[in-house]
Structures are given as C-alpha cells and as structure tokens.
A and B are shown apart, each in its own frame.
Chain A
C-alpha cells in the first residue's frame, strides 16, 4: 500500500465513509500497519474540531449508574482476561436496560397520572400492581398496560392509531433477554384489550411492553420486525407486586 493509498484509507476510515466490511478490514490492517495508525491519528486530530461543535446534551441521569453497575465484575480487572463483551446494540431486545432508562424522568409523572386514572376507574375493584405507560417516538403517551396481581394484563389505548392496509399492530413484552420478546396481542387498531399472557411468568418491574408495526397477521418470524410505534417499562404501583 503506497503512502497515498494509506492516507486515503485513513481519511475515509476516520470520516466514517467505509461500509461495515471495509471498516473491519481497515481495523485489521490498523493492528499491524503502524504507518496507517499514524495517518489515522493525524486525521482524527484534523477533524476533532467538528465533534467540538456538537451541542452538549445532559446525559440521562440514569446512564452513569447503569455504566457503573456494568463495571461490577467480580474478578480484579488486572487479573481477568478481557472478555468479549457482547454488544447490547446487536439486537434491540438484548438491551432491556436501554428501555428502562429511556424517558424515565419524563414518564414518571405520566405513570403517576395513569395509576391515578386506573385506580379511579376501578374504584373499589382490584388495582393493578404494575403499570406501564407506552410512549410514542414523540414521547407522547399512546397506551397504558395494567398488570394485576392474578397475572391478568390489559392494554388501554390512549391513541386511535390504526394499522395501514396489509399491516397489523403487534403487542410484545420482554422480561428476559435470553428469551427475547414474546407476542401478547395482535390488533388492527389500538383499542382496550386483554393481553394474551397465559403461560408467561408473572409480570415484573421494568418489564418492557411495546407495539410494533408488522405484516397483517403478525410478524412472520415470531420476533418484532417492524418499527416500534410505542414502548414503555412497567413500574410497580403503590399496591405493590
């Protein structure tokens, strides 16, 4: 590889122009080509000012505790071989905690509101032990999921969303990354409905509920394949689990 080719590869790598396969090859080469590594450093230094122009965004307060918790490895750091940490971005359902932190502060008030509403509606009747407010991508409450002590779980629609022709709305829940999301309902339009949770473990705090857009009749793979229309995590109510 000539000096010019090396410089070009370095610049395209740092700029982020390479596709996944080119990136992988470039990183392999970086490990054994010190000249390329130097060019990469030079390009990083040249372009670093562009990152400095990004408006700072206050991180979600829940983020640092999550990071710190993930550091809690039993073995002393120096002694342990570097484990290949699976990327939690690989598949979204692996990132239960992603959703847990998402919009938590924003939805806290909504949760209280929903709990209040649900309790009013039921008066002396049984109150839910868990409530999840499902927020749209715009952070607007779109549905509420109430889970009751006996495991019965209902979805209350707060929006009149309808699936387009040839599509369905599918409701999922996720409590275990190993198991992955499980379908608990299929709708043509958002409406109040009892979710099909027979045979599933009792719902737990932080359990994820979400609605995705799927082909009519539901996802052909048994996993969510379409865009997420709304999602939220369950919070325990005063009644407790």
Chain B
C-alpha cells in the first residue's frame, strides 16, 4: 500500500513523526514543517468535503491547532503521522458537516449536482494508482455501491443522505454499505 502521500516528497513519515515530537515539546518549527508538507493536500481534502473555501481554510486552521495540542498523544507505534493528522482533519471537517454550520453549506449558491458527484466518484477511482489494492478491491464492487462508499468518504455523507442520493430506502443503503465494507475488508486483508 502507498504510505506516502504525493505532497510528501522530500519528507518521510519519520521526518513528520519527528516534527510531531517537536510540537509536543513546544517547537513551532515542527508544526510549520507539518503545515508546509500537509496543508495543501489537507485544503484539497477539506474543500472536497465542504465545498466552500472559507470553511475548508477554517478546518485546516483548527486542524493545525489540534495537531499542536494533541501532538503529545501521537504514538508512532499505533499509526503513521499522515494518517493521524488526516484523521484530525477529517474529524474536524465532519464536525462542521454535522454541526450548526450545516445550513450554510447548502445555501443559495450550493446547488447539489448528483451528476457531477457520480463523475467525481469515478474520477476518484481513476486517480488511485493502478497497483493500488484499494482500487482493485473497489473495482469488485457494483458501481452504485462503489459510488456510495466513495461519496461517503469524499463528501462525508451519512447513511440517510446516501440513501437519499442513491434513491433507495435507508435500510437498503445501510445494508449495501455494510456488505460493501465487508467485501473491501476481506479483499484488502
């Protein structure tokens, strides 16, 4: 499995782990290194989830403050620095999606376009490396179910929202996703 994100050229996971230890000691240079390496990709991920640049920026802002505050809880034995940092980013973005700001996200200017979402989901698969196990395993899923998994991850949709987007009852959506995730796990283990 690919372990380094493309933005990390020149910095290994070890460098990032060292930077996190620096943050835990109060060394701002550590946070700046993480920011320089991770912020562009994080902004891209947050923008994909929230679709609003101002909110994406704010999520990245809050993410780095959380990284700074929580750096001493990073445990290299339990996960990679990028995985740890992106988990914070995703949770921060999900909190916005699930929080009070919700209404603002779908204002007058944000018409949801299901067609473009489908295209997004397919583009996302194509963007995965040919050699990727994830891609190979996603390819085993029926297109509609693959789309459900990808939309959930990429856009932070809940079961209920997915059901609406896919035009199936909630129970059906949950069962599809449950089975798809099981297939993925078995395929990737």
Contact = CB atoms under 8 A, between A and B. Distances in A.
Interface of A: 7-8, 11-12, 14-20, 23, 37, 41, 44-60, 63-64, 66-68, 70-71, 76-78, 82, 85, 87-92, 95, 98-99, 101-103, 137-138, 213, 227-229
B109 A56 contact: no
A95 B58 CA distance: 9
A45 B149 CA distance: 15
Interface residues of B, number: 80
Nearest to B187: A46
A102 B54 contact: yes
A41 B99 contact: no
A102 B152 contact: no
Contact of A59 (B43, B95, B97, B158): B43
A18 B118 CA distance: 22
Interface string B82-112: 1100110010101111111101100111000
B95 A63 contact: no
Contact of A49 (B1, B32, B87, B178): B1
Contacts of A47: 134, 153
B2 A52 contact: yes
Contacts of A87: 62, 95
Q: Is the interface of B mostly helix, strand, loop or mixed?
A: helix
A46 B128 CA distance: 12
A54 B86 CA distance: 12
Contacts of B53: 102
Contacts of A53: 124, 127-128
Contacts of A138: 109
Contacts of B98: 19-20, 23
A46 B20 CA distance: 22
Contact of B43 (A56, A76, A82): A56
Nearest to B55: A89
